[in-house]
Amino acid sequence: MNTAVRLIDDLNVMVAGQGGDGSLTLATLVADLFGRRGFHLYQARNVASRIKGGHAAAYLRASIVERSCLGDQFDLLVCFDREAIEEGGPHLANDGVVVFDASEEPLPSGVVPEGVTVLEIPFGRMSVRDLRRDLYKNSLAFGVVGRLLGIPDEELETALRRSLARLAGSLIEANVLALHRGLEFADGLGLRAGETPWKLDTGTPGDRVLISGNEAAAFGFLVAGGRFFAGYPITPASEILEWLARRLPEFGGIAMQAEDELAAVNLALGAAMSGTRAMTATSGPGVALMQEGISHAGSAEIPVVVIDCQRSGPSTGMPTKPEQGDIGMLVGGSTGDFPRIVLGPGDPADAFELTARAANLAEQLQGPVYVVLDQVVSQNSATVDRFDLAAVEIDRGKLLTDLSGLEEYRRYLVTDDGISPWAVPGTSGGQNLVTGNERDEWGRVSASPANRKRMVDKRARKLETLRSHLPAGRAWGNSTATVGMLGFGMQTGVMREATDRLSAMGMVVKGFQVRTLWPVPEETFAFVQSCERVYVVEHNAGGQYRHVLAGSGVPPHRLQSILRYDGIPFRPAELVEEVLERERNLR
């Protein structure tokens, strides 16, 4: 191997093989080592849309500065089969390292760049020969990877035991034995302790947690007083149901699996009618099925939070791949007109905060609030500062608990701000008539033209009333720049890194993360107005959010779409090159 020692301050790792090879476990073990050294972590995965088997890849970025996307190239590639090296090899850095399981065949020629260090090790054969089971090969590989990174042997063993603590003692000891076999093999390759080619930089320790967007969103709902959840399993939203099913009962709440998405949204509406903070979560096909129920929430003024974990569509599409193709449906999907709010978290910390705020906004609006994630934000994990639970405030809007001081109670009272004081059914002195038909102030069905206009206008005023309550976006870069990048969700981290690189190249540029997608806030208008051109970065084929902006009065001639819809997230270098190419073409 190359004897020059490389200081590691930003490492990108891919571990891949067939389902069951232990790729995800190995990546998690390596992440644990970096996390305990104060590195910021970002983890992603690529799995087949099937119940069992198929290609599976785990990705890790460990950096001494916070990053919310994968880097451009892999520094370390651990491959348990040929498919893994064919997928990851072309993306290896020129000074990268490949650890290849040569049990079945040698490394194929021509799949990695010149200069890459290749370690061919028969992990599968070794684990069967020495331990009688193929499944121990990831622990063998952990030993080699640990030595490559210069991690002390005892630290590796501690990490492995910690990871496997729930297993039977005999299985733990077998994996520890596999680890030591891997360390012995590394010695034979010249990777002896203290003589490894990589040295880890010193990170900054902090009180951080590694969490996915789905987990953070579920946590935010719970902390904000959410006590009822109904959902139907669907990729990539299922973890929200799983997380809440384990934890809501501990706080007197209910999480239930409905028979389908139609039932899920209507169960949530029923719970909300009782004054319980309620939520459902799904993906694009489920949101399509929920449209009638969500429209009912808008008409009958029932508060509900709906999380949409977007994936590649249309229809079933690619369930495990990311896209941002539901925006048009979320902003405009309805039978008729009703107010709704659409929030877009860009990372797990955002997912926690914005879902907690969505619970407030739903009750302030008395209607549906969408939290729009995407597969990347939903299922990828990142280290974030531990959440400040005490900072979460609960605002129940105009909810009344005592009607004794009122001369009369009108559930749909027309008010200047459009928001009617409301009480849950059963409150003494109140009466609630809830229907999907248009109604008057008392809730009685009415088709009067004058009443109809009055009620539509009343509901519409609610959005203007709540504009000051909506989450603000985040801007960065040179505030005087006339070229900007704008996006939401999965684009956030990659846009930040791309603008940093463009600035380092001498380009005057700035970025903006939209966190309230609808209604379009004044700050978004202001950002676009401050630029000659804004590149709207999104993962869909039609430039859906660009159309939302233009339809809201944002000058369309200032907006240029940068689109991707192949199921693969942008890397920073790709976004940088796209912007540079557009700028060159304007000269």
> If we measure between CA atoms, which residue out of 127, 152, 168, 111 comes closest to residue 22?
127
**What angle separates helix 491-504 from helix 572-585, to the nearest 10 degrees?**
60
Q: State percent of the chain over pLDDT 90.
A: 85
SS3 state of residue 183: helix
What span, in angstroms and rounded, lies between the C-alpha atoms of 304 and 265? 9
Which residue matches tokens 């001498």?
506
The whole-number pLDDT of residue 159 equals 95
Examine the pLDDT at 361 and tell me if it is beyond 70. yes
Q: Find the helix or strand (DSSP H, E) in which 285 lies.
A: helix 284-300
**Strand arrangement of the beta sheet that strand 304-310 belongs to:** 254-257, 228-231, 278-282, 304-310, 368-374, 341-343, 516-518
pLDDT of residue 2 exceeding 90, the answer is no
- pLDDT band for position 335 (cuts 50, 70, 90): confident
Reported as a pLDDT band with limits 50, 70 and 90, residue 50 is low
* 3 state DSSP class of 344: coil
Any idea which residue has 């995800």 for tokens?
A: 24
pLDDT band per the 50, 70, 90 thresholds, residue 51? low
Whether pLDDT at 415 is above 80: yes
How do residues 385-412 score in pLDDT, each as one tens digit? 999 999 999 999 999 999 998 989 999 9
Average pLDDT, the chain: 94
Two structure tokens written together for 511: 């970025």
Res. 56 pLDDT band, cuts 50 70 90: confident
Tally of CB atoms within 10 A around 386: 10
Please choose, from the candidates 583, 550, 551, 552, the residue with its C-alpha nearest in 3D space to the C-alpha of residue 482. Answer: 583
At a CB cut-off of 8 Å and minimum separation 6, what does 184 contact? 143
Look at residues 297, 272, 331 and name the one whose alpha carbon lies nearest to residue 436: 297
Which domains are present in the chain?
6-200 (3.40.920.10), 210-391 (3.40.50.970), 474-585 (3.40.50.920)
Distance set, CA 526 to CA 263, 397, 404, 517 (Å): 41, 29, 46, 14
Res 190: pLDDT: 86
The string of pLDDT tens digits covering residues 295-324 is 999 999 999 999 999 999 999 999 999 999
Structure confidence by residue, pLDDT tens digits, 490-542: 999 999 999 999 999 999 999 999 999 999 999 999 999 999 999 999 999 99
| In 446-543, alpha helices (H) | 449-466, 491-504, 522-529
CA–centroid distance for 454 within its chain: 40
3-class secondary structure, 513: strand
Report whether 394 contacts 223 (CB < 8 A). Answer: no
